[in-house]
Structure 1
Amino acid sequence: MEPMLPMEKFFGKLELVYAFNGAMPTGVSVSETGRIFICFPKWGDVVKFTVAEIVGDQLQPYPSYETNLVHPGNITMSFISVQSVVADGKGTLWVLDTAAPNFSEPIKGGAKLVAVDLKTNTIRKVYTFSEDVVLPTTYLNDVRFDFRVGNEGYAYITDSSSKGPGAIIVVDLENGNAFRRLNGANSTSPDPYILPKVEGEILMNRNKDGSTSPFRLASDGITISPDGEILFFCPLTSRHLFSISTEALRDRTISDMDLLYQVEHWGEKGASDGMITGAKGTVYAGDYENNSIRKILPNGIMETIAHDPRILWPDTFSIGPDQYLYVIVNQLHRQARFHYGKDLRQKPYSLLRMKIDELPAPTC
């Protein structure tokens, strides 16, 4: 009889919250009252609705089925392909619509940030973007908020383009004025030296016709400090964490060239998709190469809090009022576009959670 050989150590107590047997989810957000919202971008799966709420053991289109139907005559009031949903802790669910199904060029006038009132479950406000903000190459990825600055607060959005410049898009929520910052900067661009490896294999574009190309995605993960003063961000194909003063980002008298010197490098945290900040200033980030979840303390110390074979591509994070860290696990790396047209994903996709004894960072 062969001896039992030593094995890799797995740790971190994860609970299954919801199993998805339909379309692949990317985003999750838990509201201050504990409601859970999910989004399903249109990446090739059959997506019946791109934004949903988990009600009991069911997914219900949110805020209505009608809103999730694309109306060519009224694309500003209908969801096209939503990448991110963020409950802001003060009664609003923000919906970030890429308007770029299958990573196409964004449909003109369709890329938007939508505020949905959680009390009435109706759209309160829609922010659209000019063509110098949402470029033909733009992919709106994730968003964070701070309502302590300006008259109605600011939003910060990552452009995770695979073909054009990455950037942080800054939005004044009072008037909708938006502008690109760190456009094409090293900190918002894919790391040209990384070879991402997931499940022991190099992650790269592998097309049906046998051709291959490197997988490159710009600024993706984004999160904000509890006082709203520091924005943390990272490109998807990079292992590095960066931060910048939000005041500097908003200050358009600082030139793009001078702004580069305001970026701080926190070192390697692993390759991450989503990130979130807790009320104590802890940054939580996935490490998709190592099936792990990591936390970065305000002093820069990093610690792995979960390492589990079920964490097959940790995508978006959210912290609930129950002090649990919620994470979408969606096997993104097993999609057909990385495997010569063969879809290797296995259902169900999952929403997992683990207790962290920390509330979400406040936005106001």
Structure 2
Amino acid sequence: MKSIKHGLTILTFIAPLSVSASNLPAEIVAEWNAIKYEVKNPLIKSTWEKSQIYDKALMQGVKVDQNNHLYVSTARWAGSEIPATLSKLKGNGKSAVLVPFPSEELNDVNNPQGLKAVLGFEIDRNNVMWILDQGHIAGQPTKDGDEKLILWDLNTHKEISRYHFTEKDSSRTCSFLNDIVVDNDHQFAYITDSGIFCKPLDGGLIVYDQTKNQARRVLSGSKFTQNEPHFFFNINGEPVSKDQPMLTGADGIALSGDKETLYWTNLTGNTLYSIKTQILRDFSLPESEIEKHVKIVNLLPSNTDGMTADRAGNLYMTGLTINGLMKRDAKTGEISRLFYNQNMVWPDTLSIGNDGSLYVSSNNLHRNDLNYVDPPTTNYKIWKLTINQKPYTDK
């Protein structure tokens, strides 16, 4: 169904839904009741172990490199004592630990050039890690240089470049740089900013031109990047954020395998949006023209946090209310339930390895009453499913 309303192209009002769950085999690669770090610096280690938030770091993102090594983000939402915000996974199962990456020095909060709070990051087909530092520690405003994008070569273990987001790109008080996708074909990256630290929200998208090392913010504060009015959701039958509603703007983001279409969702909403990347790459286009090209693709069965795509253009989305994953078929547009497990609570981030594996992090993000000693099932998990598809980053 297609119609034009207020300059917005609506592709599909209701997503056709296949409710049967796939029987994909799943493996838990690593799991924790409480995140464990391998830290050598005695001061950093002591500060962490003596802090009131010890063992209460929240795991968020997981990504896989070209050699099938896994990396994990633990943004410092609870406080500066968390010893690392970006780490490499060492070991597996319940004995797995996080080793600060690229180094303890670059994870030191007192290092002016270091990482402050990494949530989203990506690894491209050249084995370059695009590290998105949202900068905010425990929700405090950022300083100049805190909000940045660092490109790190995993093959040479050297920094390639960095870009410091300006106040025009992302507000020092409002911004919440959330996630990133990378287009090696055109040397661009696309970033979601959830804008959660202001009321009303100030969500938006940020387009980064690697060749020119410049960025542009678009759709800022628009209806396409804000929470959807009157949207609320439950997980395992309980309201999320009982005391006050969770309001989060642009969050999940995915790039089609041909690099021509960008998809995104707002976390407190279930609308899947898209826009042609050709429009975003043209920095001369006015905002009014960009808005005309935004499309509503689907209304999803669940709101979603993390998203990704395979090279064939299929979308994979976490389903927060369904304890599992959704898939959008590139050819038919059908939304199906790809995977379900009652213990996949708040599936957060997705990453496809070059061996056809889909990695998923789940983290109980909505809970502030976690049992870190002996919960019924581990609080934090990294899952591995076989989908036999190549990542969107491939040529």
TM superposition score normalised by structure 2 = 0.82
* Residue 314 (1) aligns with residue 347 (2): yes
Q: 1:145–1:363: 8 Å Cα contact kept in structure 2? A: no
Q: 1:144–1:155: 8 Å Cα contact kept in structure 2? A: yes
Pick from 274, 277, 283: which aligns with 1:252?
283
Unaligned runs of 5+ in 1: 1-7, 207-211, 337-341
Unaligned runs of 5+ in 2: 1-19, 36-56
**Partners of 1:79 and 1:316 in 2: CA distance:** 20
Report the counterpart of residue 40 of structure 2 in structure 1. Answer: none
Measure how far apart 1:196 and its partner are.
1.3
Q: Which amino acid aligns with 1:294?
A: M
SS at match of 2:106: helix
Q: Which amino acid aligns with 1:161?
A: G
Q: 1:158–1:219: 8 Å Cα contact kept in structure 2? A: yes
Measure how far apart 1:43 and its partner are.
1.7
The 1:219/1:344 distance shift into structure 2, 3 A limit, reads farther
Report the counterpart of residue 385 of structure 2 in structure 1. Answer: 354
**Partners of 2:274 and 2:394 in 1: CA distance:** 18
Measure how far apart 1:90 and its partner are.
0.7
Q: Which amino acid aligns with 1:324?
A: S
Report the counterpart of residue 271 of structure 1 in structure 2. Answer: 303
Structural mapping, 1:120-139, within 5 Å: 120-135=156-171, 136-139=173-176
Measure how far apart 1:348 and its partner are.
3.8
**Partners of 1:305 and 1:281 in 2: CA distance:** 15
Pick from 259, 270, 276: which aligns with 1:239?
270
The 1:19/1:134 distance shift into structure 2, 3 A limit, reads same
Measure how far apart 1:255 and its partner are.
1.9
Measure how far apart 1:19 and its partner are.
1.2
**Partners of 1:37 and 1:199 in 2: CA distance:** 28
Structural mapping, 1:76-115, within 5 Å: 77-115=113-151
Deviations 1:181-224 (A, max 9, x none): 111121211111211111111212x5xxxxx3221000000010
| Cα RMSD, aligned residues only | 1.9
Structure 1 stretch 139-148 or stretch 103-112: which is displaced more?
Answer: 103-112
The 1:187/1:195 distance shift into structure 2, 3 A limit, reads same
SS at match of 2:278: helix
Structural mapping, 1:216-231, within 5 Å: 216-231=247-262
Deviations 1:315-356 (A, max 9, x none): 01000112111000000011x2xxxxx446754411011111
Structural mapping, 1:206-221, within 5 Å: 206=242, 212-221=243-252
Q: Which amino acid aligns with 2:59?
A: P
Structure 1 residue runs of 4+, over 6 Å off? none
TM superposition score normalised by structure 1 = 0.88
**Partners of 2:136 and 2:213 in 1: CA distance:** 21
Q: Which amino acid aligns with 1:33?
A: N
**Partners of 1:363 and 1:228 in 2: CA distance:** 10
| Identical counterparts, % of pairs | 28
**Partners of 1:279 and 1:252 in 2: CA distance:** 26
SS at match of 2:280: helix
Measure how far apart 1:239 and its partner are.
1.0
Residues matched between the structures, number: 339
